[in-house]
Structures are given as structure tokens and as C-alpha cells.
């Protein structure tokens, strides 16, 4: 299995996951051109992508979707509420939140997350004995989120903001309230405590996603996660950063 976060942040989100024969994008928040360029950086071709799985309809997760489908005929998989918020005529499949479906080698389980979108989801991707969880844009930690991430070997998790930096930022109070609300975004601390709670010996790799450009510091976020995980006895977990301007580490699970 191969995993790389091609971009993550308020300007665009897109993650690549593959086996030897199945290639999937999770969200398409980059332009089609930029998506192709980022894929080429990791030795992949946009023409070989088998599907795009969409978490929710916000622009930073779908801005390249229509062009990717029109130009490369990539099928798009969403739930019904997300599809209604994008384009009901998208070619592809419509899954039901809470029920697994398959694309090639992958069994994919979409699960509900709290965010201010129509019916936002996280995903668990399974292939053989490998399980990868992708959960970004989460307003608060729920028991369902805990349950779904607990068995994963790799997790891509939201670490959106440092609460002190967010409070001090020159942003409208209404926006701060949205981010801090139960349908907004997870702070570094809340996310780190979630992972420390659910991590077991099986969790080996963690990608920090959707970091705010002005209300977070990547190095600080990674140190916080490493400290919280170590304090909980999980210092074996490797923590990686993601960003809007470059691809993340390319993770290969043999």
C-alpha cells in the first residue's frame, strides 16, 4: 500500500492511496493541473486514478473535481447529500454513510463526522490486513470516530489550530466561533488526545492534516503530538506533517 497527502489546508485537500492495482484520490481540492503535477512528483499518473472518494462538498475538497472527471473520466464516489451539494449528474457511485463499499482492492467504510457540511464523512480503507483511517474536518471527537480509528495502522487526522493562536488571530469572532464549535475543526490538543486514546501497538504512522496557515505552527504541532503520544506510551508512532504547498512523505507499507 502507498499513501501520500498531496495537499492539505484551507486552500486545497487531496490524498492519494493505492495498492499495486488500485489508485484512489480522497477529495479533489486542487486544480486538475496541480493534482496531475503532485501525482507526477510521487511517480503516479492522473490517468491511472481509478476513483475519487469525497468527504464533503466544501470548496477546498472539490474544486478540481469537475475538470478531473471531464478530462480524465474518473468516477466520483459520494453519499447522496454530498452529491446534491456538488452536482447530481456526477458520474460514479453513491455510497451510504455507515455502509462499506468496494473499489478494486479496497474495502472502504465511510463514517459520519461532525462538521458544518451536508453529510460529511471520514473513511477507513482496508486492503488485506492493512487499515488506513482518514478523518479531517472534525468539529469534535465522537465515540464513533474513536471506534473507527482504533484499529488503524495509519491515520490521517486533522490538527487544524493552536487554540491560543486562534484566539489571538485577527479573524472575525464569528469565524473563530465556527472553527471552535462542535461542527468546526479540531485543535492540536484535542486531536493529539484523541490519537493517544485510541492508539495501540497497531498504529505506526500518523499524518497531521488541515493545519491552519496563520493559527498553527507545524513544528509545534508535531512536537505536541509526539509528547502526548509518548506520555501515553505510544512513542513508536511516527508523526508526519502535511501542507498546502508540497506533498507529504510518501508512505509505503510492504
What is the reported pLDDT for 108?
98
Query: What number of residues does the chain have?
Result: 254
Quick check: 95 pLDDT over 80?
A: yes
CB 32 within 8 A of CB 68: yes
The pairing of strands 121-127 and 106-112 is antiparallel
Q: CA 3 to CA 151: how far, in whole Å?
A: 17
Residue 175 is predicted with a pLDDT of 87
Note the pTM of the prediction, 2 decimals.
0.96
Q: Is 167 helix (H, G, I), strand (E, B) or coil?
A: helix
* Residue 139 Ramachandran class (φ > 0 left, ψ -120 to 50 alpha, else beta): alpha
Q: Could you report the per-residue pLDDT of 173-226, keeping only the tens digit for each?
A: 898 888 889 998 999 999 999 999 999 889 999 999 999 999 999 999 999 999
- Contact (CB, 8 A) for 19 and 127: yes
C-alpha cell at 211: 493545519
- CATH code, 2-249: 3.60.15.10
Other C-beta atoms closer than 10 Å to the C-beta of 252 total 10
Residue 18 clears pLDDT 80, i.e. is over it: yes
**Do the beta carbons of residue 247 and residue 216 sit within 8 Å?**
no
The pLDDT value recorded for residue 118 is 94
pLDDT average, residue stretch 133-148 = 96
Res. 14: pLDDT tops 80: yes
**Do residues 79 and 47 make contact, with C-beta atoms less than 8 angstroms apart?**
no
Question: pLDDT value at position 169?
Answer: 86
Q: Do 178 and 137 contact (CB within 8 A), yes or no?
A: no
Per-residue pLDDT, 179: 87
Give residue for cell 480524465. 72
What percent of the chain stands above pLDDT 70? 100
Average pLDDT of the chain, as a whole number: 95
Q: Taking phi first (over 0 means left), then psi (-120 to 50 degrees means alpha), and beta for anything else, what does residue 11 get? A: alpha
Amino acid at each position: 500500500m502507498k499513501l501520500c497527502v498531496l495537499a492539505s489546508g484551507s486552500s486545497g485537500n487531496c490524498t492519494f492511496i493505492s495498492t499495486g492495482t488500485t489508485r484512489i484520490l480522497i477529495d479533489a481540492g486542487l486544480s486538475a493541473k496541480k493534482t496531475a503535477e503532485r501525482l507526477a512528483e510521487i511517480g503516479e499518473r492522473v490517468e491511472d486514478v481509478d476513483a475519487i472518494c469525497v468527504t464533503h462538498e466544501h470548496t477546498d475538497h472539490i474544486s478540481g473535481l469537475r475538470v478531473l472527471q471531464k478530462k480524465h473520466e474518473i468516477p466520483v464516489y459520494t453519499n447522496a447529500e454530498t452529491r446534491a451539494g456538488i452536482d447530481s449528474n456526477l458520474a460514479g457511485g453513491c455510497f451510504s454513510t455507515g455502509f462499506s463499499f468496494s473499489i478494486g482492492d479496497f474495502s472502504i467504510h465511510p463514517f459520519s463526522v461532525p462538521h458544518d457540511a451536508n453529510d460529511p464523512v471520514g473513511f477507513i480503507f482496508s486492503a488485506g490486513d492493512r487499515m488506513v483511517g482518514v478523518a479531517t474536518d472534525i468539529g469534535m471527537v465522537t465515540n464513533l470516530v474513536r471506534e473507527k480509528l482504533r484499529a488503524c495502522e495509519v491515520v490521517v487526522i486533522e490538527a487544524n489550530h493552536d487554540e491560543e493562536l486562534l484566539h489571538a488571530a485577527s479573524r472575525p469572532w464569528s469565524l473563530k466561533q465556527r472553527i471552535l464549535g462542535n461542527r468546526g475543526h479540531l485543535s492540536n490538543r484535542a486531536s493529539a488526545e484523541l490519537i493517544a486514546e485510541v492508539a495501540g501497538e497497531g498504529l505506526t504512522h500518523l499524518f497531521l492534516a488541515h493545519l491552519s496557515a496563520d493559527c498553527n505552527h507545524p513544528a509545534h504541532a508535531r512536537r505536541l503530538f509526539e509528547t502526548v503520544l509518548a506520555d501515553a506510551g505510544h512513542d513508536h508512532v511516527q508523526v508526519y506533517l502535511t501542507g498546502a504547498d508540497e506533498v507529504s512523505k510518501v508512505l509505503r507499507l510492504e
